[in-house]
Chain A
Amino acid sequence: MEANVLEIKGLVKDYPGVRAVNEVSFEIKRNVVHCLVGENGAGKSTLIKILTGACERTCGEILLNGAEYCARNPKDAREKGISTLYQELNVVDQLTVEENLTLGLEDTFCGFLRKTDKVKKIIAVLKDLEPNINPKERVGRLSVAKKQIIEIAKAVAAETEIIIMDEPTAALSESEINRLFTIIKRLREKGVTVIYISHRLDEIFTLGDYVTVMRDGKHVATKPISEVQDRSELVQLMIGRTVIESYIPKETQAEEPLLELRNVCNHKLRDISLTVNRGEIVGFYGLIGAGKTELARAIYGADDYSGEILLHGEKLGGTPEKAIRAGIALVPEERRTQGLFTLLTIKHNISAMNLKKISNLGLINTTRERNAAKSYIGQLNIKTDSMDKETSKLSGGNQQKVVFSKCLFANADLLILDEPTRGIDVGAKAEIYSIVRELVAKGKTIMFFSSELPEILNSCDRIFLLYEGEIKAELRNGNDINSQDIIHIVTGGAAS
């Protein structure tokens, strides 16, 4: 048998305008836990999608057991020996554990289900992995951790060679994580190779045999964990020499507090207190699941919270409608489902947040609406041949500019931007950054939530670091800022 279960050679994946995976080559040894790390956007997910058949490679070669491997779809990948444990679990809540395990493998006799050896074998695998799950239990009543185990058991029973685990611990408690680790170690004993993706670097040191680091779509290094000195070496590999080019420290002005949070808590946030001053760009950085979106939505009144949020010293009302009236606008995380009315035209989108401004006593003045749309299409350089075009027909970058226009038309003093550059191409990103700077020059205040460190470093005056719903550190941007320390903190390391 080959020593390498999987070999990736010169793998490339191009999306329109961006190369997500760039000439990646590395090998994965048989019977190990192989970790894959990198910042958001480093190309890990795309690589995994190619392995599982969810998307097609542009070029390059993948060898499974020395033979050319190409999965047409996730089912095909599973049949060829690569199973995946996604963050979104693939179990049917309404069925029992046993029914879930045998889903799609049922043997029937005259239309009746039969309990064959195959079924008994799968249940034996589950018992072996986790004896505490009753096969007759309804899956909807099990915890996320147990559902994961069911999926793992299904993969093992199908005699998979490789299991890919994408952030499996994101929704687990401490003790559940330990149990998962035990199971992963047992998988290794059974001869299964695990490709393990996690943002929590400590887990990689506990669990991994090998680690591959990716950055900007490229392969940076693959080495045994024993040869990695400590987490700071890993962090260094992940971010490389991120050059902070464009941030220009601002003249320190008299600080005038605009927004104040006092002990804000909710299902995700833990005791957040902070102050945002007028005219600042304040960055909020953390990995996915750190609580950035929850914080943005709490301030905007879109989610419930306890504690106090004050704007100009006055308590905010706790609904988006009141936040808008007080002078706050939100560019939401999910553009298409939360920010945009894709069925409606550009002009109707732009006016949506401030219908009062285009109407008298509830009557809409269409000339005013058209003029507003025309002015923002010009100002923000929205590329379209008509303001009457449905926004579903625009590119991602132009859609985001429409959402920005909508917020600007609401006359907000404070703009909350939640992942404002997600899913848009490099050119549009640069335009968004320059819009942000222009707005601050005009006296607006910006809260910039992002899981991409370079854009936080190049735009923000002050940066808050979030981890697991808590603010772990506050930094002032400048030449002395150290991105390694930042990554250290947002992956759960102690603040220095």
Chain B
Amino acid sequence: MRKNESNMKNRSLAGKLSNESYLNRVMFLVLITLFAIASMTIKNYFSTATALNLVANNWYIVILGVGVTFLLVSGHLDMSVGGIVAMAGVLSAYFCQPANEGFSELGQGLGMPYGVAILLTLLCCLVIGALNALFIAKMRVASIIVTLGTMSIARGIGQVAALGAQRSAGLPDIFGVIGNVPLFGPIKIAAAIAALLVIAALFIEKKTSFGRRTYLIGANREAARLSGVKVERHIALLYLLSSLLAGITGILLASEMKAGISTRGSGFEFSALVVTLLGGASIDGGVGSVLGMVIGAMILGVVSSAAYGMLLRPEWQFILKAIVTFLAIIAQRYLLDRRNK
């Protein structure tokens, strides 16, 4: 595999599979097994359409999962992403609705060109990220408390700006374009954007010093500081990144529906956290991977679609998802403990 194959000493020091690759393989096996079970028990489940739908219906969790994974690896939670999705959707609509149309209050916007509206929306999302950064990185308040707060703030801004409903009247045609460019079948351009982000994130995570510092901070914040890592600045950057990704997700989802809906994205923060944990990340930091998170998202996707296929009433989906998540995470702990004994 490596160039200097002849160097025996080097090879003997290379060692066995890391815990991370081991877990990723295990979870991939779980994904295949679940898919196989679903294919055997549900008629017509095993099809290209199912596979494509898996991608088409889960891309947004994957984008959010990227930011959440980096933060979790650094030892921090981000519960604000769902709220930011809602806020971004509503604001992007509000900014480019016509200024003086006078349909109703909900049709009244700021009349900006779509490009400007997007930039301004992302800026607003970054402000939420900056709030997270200020309280968590600088003032060292527990991340769960701060991000639950900013989740409410962001969702609240969305609610206020959409008067508790949605903004769709009078939107320019261009608003609905970016979320609806078809690629093939049910897959639209948003899924491709998610794929590109994942590839970039995989690269950053494993091949850059930025990614490495994230692991160092999560593994031992004090040791990282004493090793010269600018810990506060790094955590601040991670929160800004996560809020930006949530903003992008919100804009894409609003474009897809051609409406800024203030209730959008509820529960997304939990899904993003769950898929990250399914991917083998540790809630204490230092462990986790983007690849694992993607596999986790696929597992959750298979479970939901299988539940749908089994004609389970949608209410039951929550419980089914919870059971699968618990089993998977308990199995992970068990396997890792046995392996590292």
| Cβ contacts under 8 Å, A344 to chain B | 215-216, 219, 286
Cβ contacts A to B, 28 pairs, < 8 Å = A302-B226, A320-B225, A321-B229, A321-B230, A338-B222, A341-B215, A341-B216, A341-B223, A342-B219, A343-B286, A344-B215, A344-B286, A348-B216, A351-B212, A352-B212, A355-B213, A362-B210, A363-B208, A363-B209, A364-B209, A370-B10, A384-B13, A386-B13, A387-B13, A387-B15, A388-B14, A389-B15, A390-B340
- Report the Cα distance A386→B19, complex, angstroms: 14
| A337-B220, A342-B219, A374-B9 known; A386-B14 Cβ under 8 A | yes
Q: Does B228 contact A (CB under 8 A)?
A: yes
Main secondary structure of the interface of A (DSSP, over half): mixed
Q: Does B16 contact A (CB under 8 A)?
A: yes
| Least distance between B259 CB and chain A CB atoms (Å) | 40
Please name the residue on chain A nearest to B225 by beta carbon.
Answer: A320
- Report the Cα distance A93→B70, complex, angstroms: 37
Q: Are A332 and B226 in contact (CB under 8 A)?
A: yes
Q: Does B100 contact A (CB under 8 A)?
A: no
- Report the Cα distance A224→B230, complex, angstroms: 57
Q: Does B227 contact A (CB under 8 A)?
A: yes
Q: Are B216 and A352 in contact (CB under 8 A)?
A: yes
| Least distance between A323 CB and chain B CB atoms (Å) | 8
Interface residues on A, range: 35 or more
**Interface mask (B192-236 → A, CB under 8 Å = 1, otherwise 0):** 000000000000000111101101100110111111111000000
| Least distance between B76 CB and chain A CB atoms (Å) | 16
Q: Does A97 contact B (CB under 8 A)?
A: no
Interface residues of A in 338-359 (CB under 8 A from B): 338-345, 348, 351-356, 359
| A362-B208, A374-B9, A374-B13 known; A339-B226 Cβ under 8 A | yes
Q: Does A165 contact B (CB under 8 A)?
A: no
- Report the Cα distance A377→B10, complex, angstroms: 11
Q: Are A359 and B208 in contact (CB under 8 A)?
A: yes
| Cβ contacts under 8 Å, B10 to chain A | 370, 374
Please name the residue on chain B nearest to A331 by beta carbon.
Answer: B226
Q: Are A340 and B9 in contact (CB under 8 A)?
A: no
- Report the Cα distance A340→B286, complex, angstroms: 13
Please name the residue on chain B nearest to A347 by beta carbon.
Answer: B13
Q: Does A324 contact B (CB under 8 A)?
A: yes
Q: Are B16 and A355 in contact (CB under 8 A)?
A: no
| Cβ contacts under 8 Å, A324 to chain B | 227-228
Q: Does B38 contact A (CB under 8 A)?
A: no
| Cβ contacts under 8 Å, B207 to chain A | 363-364, 366
Q: Are A348 and B223 in contact (CB under 8 A)?
A: no
Q: Does B18 contact A (CB under 8 A)?
A: yes
Q: Are A348 and B226 in contact (CB under 8 A)?
A: no
Q: Are B225 and A348 in contact (CB under 8 A)?
A: no
Q: Please pick, from B9, B208, B220, B227, the residue contacting A364 in the complex, using a CB distance under 8 A.
A: B208
Q: Are B15 and A342 in contact (CB under 8 A)?
A: no
Interface residues of A in 113-134 (CB under 8 A from B): none
**Interface mask (A152-195 → B, CB under 8 Å = 1, otherwise 0):** 00000000000000000000000000000000000000000000
- Report the Cα distance A377→B9, complex, angstroms: 11
Q: Does A406 contact B (CB under 8 A)?
A: yes
Q: Please pick, from A302, A325, A341, A410, the residue contacting B225 in the complex, using a CB distance under 8 A.
A: A302
| Cβ contacts under 8 Å, B227 to chain A | 320, 324, 352-353, 406
Please name the residue on chain A nearest to B233 by beta carbon.
Answer: A321
Q: Does B48 contact A (CB under 8 A)?
A: no
| A321-B229, A388-B15 known; A364-B216 Cβ under 8 A | no
Interface residues of B in 221-266 (CB under 8 A from A): 222-230
| Cβ contacts under 8 Å, A393 to chain B | 340
Q: Does B6 contact A (CB under 8 A)?
A: no
| Cβ contacts under 8 Å, A345 to chain B | 18
Q: Does B104 contact A (CB under 8 A)?
A: no
| Cβ contacts under 8 Å, B223 to chain A | 332, 337-341, 352
- Report the Cα distance A345→B18, complex, angstroms: 9
| Cβ contacts under 8 Å, A388 to chain B | 13-16, 18
Q: Are A343 and B287 in contact (CB under 8 A)?
A: yes
**Interface mask (B264-306 → A, CB under 8 Å = 1, otherwise 0):** 0000000000000000000000110000000000000000000
- Report the Cα distance A238→B225, complex, angstroms: 39
**Interface mask (B127-170 → A, CB under 8 Å = 1, otherwise 0):** 00000000000000000000000000000000000000000000
| A302-B225, A406-B227 known; A364-B212 Cβ under 8 A | yes
Interface residues of A in 355-413 (CB under 8 A from B): 355-356, 359, 362-364, 366, 370, 373-374, 377, 384-390, 393, 406, 410
| Cβ contacts under 8 Å, B222 to chain A | 337-338
- Report the Cα distance A367→B242, complex, angstroms: 31
- Report the Cα distance A46→B15, complex, angstroms: 38
